[in-house]
Amino acid sequence: MSKKRSANPSETEESLRRQLDEITRLAGGLAHEVNNPLSTIRMNMGLLAEDLEKIPESVPQKRALRKVATVQQETKRLERLLKNFLHLTRPQHLELTKADINEEIRNILRFFKPEADEKHIEISECLTPNLPLVRLNSDAFHQAVINLLRNAIQAMKEDGGKLIVQTRDLGVKVAIDVIDNGCGISPKTIERIFDPYYSTKKDGSGLGLPIVNQIIIAHGGGIAISSEVGFGTQFTITLPVPTQIPEMPPPSVVILPKD
C-alpha cells in the first residue's frame, strides 16, 4: 500500500504565492494589452467627432455625435479602470524620505481647496504642533489623502458640508484623521470597503480605497474607518515614526479580491 505524502505547509504557501504572483503578472499584462486598443479607439472617436462636426447640422448628424460622445465617455472610463488596476497589481516599492506630516497636509489642502470651494465644503485644519518626523513617499501619500478627501466630498450633500483634517501624536505613531459630516457608511459596507471592485457608487470603480490601503501599507502604516449612517465618517491613517520604520522599504503588497 503506497503512502501518501503530505505537503509541507511552507511548501504549500510558497506554491500559492508563486501562483498568485503569476496570476497577477498575467492580469497586469492583459490589462496593459487591452489599454493599447482602447487608446486607439478613443483617438479615432475624437477624429470621427471632428469630421461629423464639419457636416451640416441635421438629426442624423446630431444622433451620430451623441453616439460618438457615449463611446468616448465609456472609453475614458475603461482607461481609468485599467490605470487603477495596473496600479493595484504593480508591487509598491516606495522610496521613503523623512517628512513633516503637518507640512505635507498643508500642501495637500492648498492643492485641494479650489475643489472643496467649488462644492461649498468648509475645511478645518487641526494640526498638532511639533509632531515627530515620519518617512513618506510624498507623491503616493498625497494621492492617498486626496482620494480620501474626494470620497468625503462625495458623501456630502450638494449644498456643501464640513470636513476636518487633523493630526495627532500617538507616541510611536502619528495619526491623520479625515472626518466628514456626510451620509455615513453602513456596517455592512464598512466590512468590504477595502475590497477591490466593491463600490456602492453608481459609477465607482471599487479601486480607489484599495489603492489607498495599499499605499499606506507600503509606508508601514495602517488605515481604519469609523462611521455612523446619517452623521458622517472618519478615516484614520497611522504612520510609524522613523525609529519604528525599517531602513529598507516594506515588502511589496498586492491586494487581491476575496473569494
Q: What is the pLDDT of residue 3?
A: 40
Is the same domain home to 123 and 191? Answer: yes
Mark whether 49 and 164 lie in a shared domain.
no
Q: What is the CA radius of gyration of the chain?
A: 23
Domain identity same for 230 and 163:
yes
Pair 238, 173: CB distance under 8 Å: yes
Q: Are residues 146 and 233 in the same domain?
A: yes
Same-domain status, 52 and 172: no
Range of the domain at 59: 9-89
More confident residue, 33 or 140: 140
The last residue of one of the domains, among 65, 89, 113, is 89
DSSP assignments along the chain, one per residue: -PPPPPPPHHHHHHHHHHHHHHHHHHHHHHHHHHHHHHHHHHHHHHHHHHHHHTSPP-HHHHHHHHHHHHHHHHHHHHHHHHHHHHHHHS---PPPEEE-HHHHHHHHHHHHHHHHHHTTEEEEEEEPSSPPPEEE-HHHHHHHHHHHHHHHHHTSBTTBEEEEEEEEE-SSEEEEEEEE-SS---HHHHHHTTSTT---STT--S-HHHHHHHHHHHTT-EEEEEEETTTEEEEEEEEE-GGGS-SSPPPP-------
Q: For the chain, what's the residue count? A: 259
Grid cell locating 234: 472618519
Amino acid at 159: D
Out of 59, 89, 119, pick the residue that ends a domain: 89
pTM above 0.85, yes or no: no
Number of structural domains found in the chain: 2
Distance CA 16, CA 1 (A): 30
CB of 47 within 8 A of CB of 39?
no
For 207, what's the count of Cα atoms within 13 Å in the CB-facing half-sphere? 17
Q: Does 205 have pLDDT greater than 80?
A: no
Q: Is residue 254 part of a domain?
A: no
As a whole number of angstroms, the distance between CA 137 and CA 98 comes to: 9
pLDDT tens readout for residues 53-101: 998 889 988 999 999 888 888 888 777 767 766 665 565 567 888 999 9
Same domain, 145 and 227: yes
Same domain, 72 and 149: no
Q: Provide the pLDDT for residue 24.
A: 58
pLDDT score for 39: 81
Summarize pLDDT for 15-61 with one digit per residue, the tens.
655 665 565 566 666 666 777 788 888 888 889 999 999 988 899 88
Confidence of residue 2 (pLDDT cuts 50, 70, 90): very low
143 with 53, same domain: the answer is no
Residues 72 and 104 in one domain: no
Residues 59 and 112 in one domain: no
Structural domain includes residue 22: yes
Segment 145-173 shows an average pLDDT of 89
Q: Identify the bridge partners of residue 122 per DSSP, sorted by sequence position.
A: 162
Q: What is the pLDDT of residue 27?
A: 64
The separation between the first and the last C-alpha atoms of the chain, rounded to the nearest angstrom, is: 37
